[in-house]
Amino acid sequence: MKFGRTQQGVMDGSESGTPFKEIAASVLAFLDDQSLDPTPGNYELGFLYRTDPESLAARSVDGVLTTGAKLRQDQADYILGAYHALVRTQGASPEAAPEAETRTGARLRHQTLQLHDLASDAVSVTGQFGRDLTAELDQIEVESLPIARTISTMIARSSDAERNLVAALKEIDALHAEVAAAQNDALRDSLTGLANRRGFAAELTKGPGDAPLALAICDIDRFKAINDRHGHPVGDRVIKAVAESIARSCAPHVVSRWGGEEFVILMDGVTLDEAYEIIATANQALQKRAFRIRESGEALAPISFSAGIVLTQRTRALDAIAAADLLLYRAKQAGRNTVYVQDTALAA
């Protein structure tokens, strides 16, 4: 099996002067050497391998070939699929649908992990190959100098391959970390760090669909007056502080920012009475906090929230938000700083 490449030009050969026919012949020779059918997908991968040796696709192919094995069709499909996913992710516009970006990110993570495994195996094999050759070289007598030189050359090539594969591993790890971070950012509210609506929906998938839970929706009382009097920067700091207070009081239950000054809390395995105690305690803890305007030192009046709580199931939680929101509206009408549980109003 042949193993080795040289940097060549782009498809038209304009940069290196390499004719297109020569590149095409090189690609077809690569496919023939690997016993791969000359399909459009395989040709594309072969072209990437011959013309862009520093790409993740080419390095991943190297990861397979360095083990001494030929490239299987399923491995070729994995590598080309990861390449396409990477191109789509890097070229996606900010206006692209968040759901589509999430699916692409998930696919790319799967592909990069697969390539990581291939390259890891190759690093292990090439490393051991070099160590074995070094041990054999120590046993060769002086009169066998030509053989020694040959083995020395093989060791050097093995070391180069190992270094290249280690570099590929680092690049794949960095890509995987970037995609994971982007995925996490897509599920988090940028101001508070809490789960956003998409993160809330993701949390609903983490348990049995028929599992009972309590759902509460909370809204900061008289928040518009704070915004109108002190400005949006102060309002944002208030939202961030309230979010931190509610999350701390309601831990380990999931708190998400629903939008504006509204928060939704998922409480697994609790009764309505227990859910009320959790939310009421969170409201009391919030009102005990002293808020002061950073620029002027002016103290704000104690901050409270109103809330509505319902019992539901995971599969019906999104629908239950409407019922909880109606209870929240009634709590606001009742004078604020109030928690409504199902059809019973309880002063917080």
H or E element that contains 217: strand 212-220
Instruction: Report which of 264, 272, 232 is spatially closest to residue 246, judged by C-alpha positions.
Output: 264
Q: What is the DSSP letter of 188?
A: B
3-state secondary structure of 8: coil
Out of 171, 261, 262, 298, pick the active-site residue: 261
101 catalytically annotated: no
Q: Cα separations (Å) of 293 from 50, 246, 275, 296?
A: 63, 20, 32, 6
Give CA angle at 37 (73, 109), nearest 5°: 30
Please check whether residue 82 is in contact with residue 176, taking contact to mean a CB–CB distance below 8 angstroms.
no
Strand partners, 264: 217, 256
Nearest-angstrom CA–CA distance, 104 and 3: 32
Counted residue by residue, the chain has a size of: 348
Please check whether residue 207 is in contact with residue 254, taking contact to mean a CB–CB distance below 8 angstroms.
no
Q: What is the DSSP letter of 94?
A: T
Q: 52: alpha, beta or left, given left = phi > 0 and alpha = psi -120 to 50? A: beta
Kind of pairing, strands 212-220 and 305-313? antiparallel
Please check whether residue 115 is in contact with residue 79, taking contact to mean a CB–CB distance below 8 angstroms.
yes
Q: Cα separations (Å) of 217 from 107, 301, 318, 338?
A: 34, 22, 12, 12
Sign of the Cα torsion 310, 316, 321, 326 reads: negative
Instruction: Report which of 181, 180, 176, 177 is spatially closest to residue 111, judged by C-alpha positions.
Output: 176
Which residues form the catalytic set?
A: 261
